[in-house]
Structure 1
Amino acid sequence: MMVIMSVLELVSLTILTQMSIGAGDFFNDDALFRLKWVDKVHPLVEEFSEENSVVMTTAENEQYRCFLPDSGSEEKKKTAYTGPSAKIVLKPLFKSKACVLKLEPYWTYELCHGKFLRQYHEEKLPGNNVKLLEYYLGYYEAPSVVPSPSDLIPTKKIDGKDIPYYEVLMSNGTLCDIKDKKARVTRLRYICDLQGRNEMVSLEEVSTCEYEGLVLTPALCSHPSYKVKDMPESNINCQPLTGSPVYPSGYQRLNSADTQNQYSPVKPKPVSQPRSSSQPTPKVSPVPIHPVDTSVVESFLKGEYCLNGGGREWWKYTFCYGKYVQQYHEEKGGVRSSTINLGTWNEDIHIKWYHSPERLRTTSLTTISQFYGNGDICDVTGKARQVLVKLKCKETLRLPAVSLSLHEPKTCDYILLIESSIFCSLISTVDAHGLINFSP
């Protein structure tokens, strides 16, 4: 062990003092180095040259020439990309009508990409009226300058990794009463996630009426500079010089001792270490996971927390679990008009549908399907409208972001797909009739 440690120390010392890698590169937390012993009869990879090597001597006077990796090779790869910029890659998303929701116990956040970010709370009033409290946290501001490929891409530390992001400014929001009537502004940071659904997974108020949000999107993954990079590992290849074995003697003794210990393990004696009472025993913390707020789940399952979709379209829709799916038009001030009932919840009707031969009998480990029938009569078919509601588990940083989409595959026959991590904990509670039995 002492021989190997001295070799590693020599490698470190020589890198710091003689080679172009430099102290900052060698002790970078995002880089790993592996020491490898290579037989002198096998040529090394061409990019290793004697100009980028050092000669080291072990305690037994065994000599090795160690070749250091080229620190500039990764930078060359970064500048080789000539495809569309991040702005161009995200343009289809910003031109689409896609909107997503982020749920919190009181506030709901609606992000319509390339349009606006809205914060609102709805309070049900007698009848069909709704009291709406809302603030626009910013409107989309298209970037005027396209960054060049050589520009430094900003990163954000998430779970110990530096994640590259593309920032979008949402400005000219609702005026802030606390901050001299200045408009609210939000900086949205879009990051690559192949499993993402363009959802906003976090939003925080970094200063009064100024916000920062994080959006996961697969669209950005086509740009190599925005992909999450694995921690690089570089080999330091060491060739024996004349008269030296391929593996240092100390290394061979260490391997031999390890092999023997596999068959006759020796338990080390416990050593008591003095510890100050002011310094508690450190605990190993797991990777941070953001749990779903159970109060949000409870309110949703009670039908108190309804989900709204449709963005700024003429027709919007709302889903109140265990109650109904409705389509409506919203006048100024949050007053709803032209409300159409697309489907109403009835447990007996759902169970009958769930066990009917017409239902496609496929077992899904990620989706809960429920039937809402007896909607308003359709003028075209003369039959009651109906909705198949699909609640799909979507693990995304385990945060309660929600995406909704309403489809009409047949006239007055709808499918409402809702994807969120809040449904992941509910999958295991579904009984033989497709009913959720959740208890916090």
Structure 2
Amino acid sequence: MVMLDKQGRRYLCFLPKEEEVASGWKTSTMQNISTVLMETDKQMKLKTPDKLLQPLNEKCLVRQEGWWSYEFCHLGSVRQLHIEDGTKIVQEFSLGKYDPEATAAFNQNVSDVSTMKERYHSHIYTNGTTCDLTGTPREVEVRFVCAETRAMVTSITELSTCKYALTVQCPTLCKHPLFQLEKPVSHTIHCNLIPLEESATRNKEARVVGESPKDTDS
């Protein structure tokens, strides 16, 4: 194809052919991939997600959203707090304690495809403070995602009444290729300057082709 630069010079450019990448992952839908990790880890000899999350052991992360603060302690508990004067807790709800059995069952039975735009590994926290609206204990799904920055809680969402999803980004999880975000593919376009004489010839030919035949009858 022919392209023009800022000075009006004409270039003949060659666009690369789009190559279809043979991959089992789709960029438009992300997955909870905990269910496929066991076999993959055997083949690739990689650390499991839980081992990659070990730097979070005995650590607590806090996120403030307006009136409430949310405290996540890895393999411990998740709390919803209202704090005054920087340290004084005036209101507190437990969103759950780490439940290894519920976590194993969840990751075994969860659907492969999710509307989440990130690949994540889940832990389930159960038996939180009883919910006034449902009469059942609060619970939260903690979703660990790959991020190159520091470990932190990035969001808290109420999926249904007193059931929450808390997202935690963790740099060490990026060491597992299945959790790495797919990067956009860039292509190089090669262009050659069309000499002025050749460009003029092309323009003349284009005008000739576009002209209507003249009437020879007089």
TM-score, reference length from structure 1: 0.32
Q: Deviations over 1:58-92 (max 9, x none)?
A: xxxxxxxxxx65625989xx9553312213322x2
Aligned counterpart in structure 1 of residue 90 of structure 2, from 119, 123, 132? 132
Change (3 A) 1:222 1:145: farther
C-alpha RMSD of the superposition = 3.9
Runs of 4+ in 1 over 6 A off after TM superposition: none
Q: Is the 8 A contact 1:122 1:131 kept in 2?
A: yes
SS at match of 1:195: coil
For 1:256, give the aligned amino acid.
I
The alignment status of 1:169 with 2:124, answered yes or no, reads yes
The alignment status of 1:88 with 2:26, answered yes or no, reads no
Gaps of 5+ in 1: 3-32, 37-67, 158-162, 236-246, 261-440
Aligned counterpart in structure 2 of residue 210 of structure 1, from 163, 170, 173? 163
- The answer to which structure, 1 or 2, has the higher relative contact order (CA under 8 A, 6+ apart) is 2
Aligned counterpart in structure 2 of residue 228 of structure 1, from 181, 190, 194? 181
Q: How far is 1:206 from its partner?
A: 2.1
Change (3 A) 1:103 1:73: closer
CA distance in structure 2 between the aligned counterparts of 1:117 and 1:227, rounded to whole angstroms: 26
Identity of aligned residues (%): 25
Q: Is the 8 A contact 2:77 2:125 kept in 1?
A: yes
Q: Deviations over 1:202-243 (max 9, x none)?
A: 1121221111111111121121111112024689xxxxxxxx
The alignment status of 1:105 with 2:105, answered yes or no, reads no
SS at match of 2:44: coil
Q: Deviations over 1:378-398 (max 9, x none)?
A: xxxxxxxxxxxxxxxxxxxxx
CA distance in structure 1 between the aligned counterparts of 2:163 and 2:49, rounded to whole angstroms: 24
CA distance in structure 1 between the aligned counterparts of 2:138 and 2:149, rounded to whole angstroms: 31
Q: Is the 8 A contact 1:192 1:219 kept in 2?
A: yes
CA distance in structure 1 between the aligned counterparts of 2:89 and 2:186, rounded to whole angstroms: 57
CA distance in structure 1 between the aligned counterparts of 2:91 and 2:22, rounded to whole angstroms: 55
Change (3 A) 1:98 1:116: same
1:35 is aligned to 17
CA distance in structure 2 between the aligned counterparts of 1:86 and 1:189, rounded to whole angstroms: 12
Aligned counterpart in structure 1 of residue 104 of structure 2, from 140, 144, 160? 144
Q: Deviations over 1:328-362 (max 9, x none)?
A: xxxxxxxxxxxxxxxxxxxxxxxxxxxxxxxxxxx
2:22 is aligned to 71
SS at match of 1:215: strand
1:375 is aligned to none
Q: How far is 1:131 from its partner?
A: 6.3
SS at match of 1:156: coil
Aligned counterpart in structure 2 of residue 183 of structure 1, from 120, 137, 145? 137
For 1:189, give the aligned amino acid.
R
Gaps of 5+ in 2: 3-14, 27-38, 200-218
TM-score, reference length from structure 2: 0.61
SS at match of 1:221: helix
1:413 is aligned to none
Aligned residues, how many? 164
Q: How far is 1:166 from its partner?
A: 0.9
For 1:225, give the aligned amino acid.
L
Q: Is the 8 A contact 1:170 1:188 kept in 2?
A: yes
Q: Is the 8 A contact 1:155 1:165 kept in 2?
A: no
For 1:71, give the aligned amino acid.
A
Which has more radius of gyration? 1
SS at match of 1:133: strand
Q: How far is 1:102 from its partner?
A: 0.7
CA distance in structure 2 between the aligned counterparts of 1:120 and 1:154, rounded to whole angstroms: 30
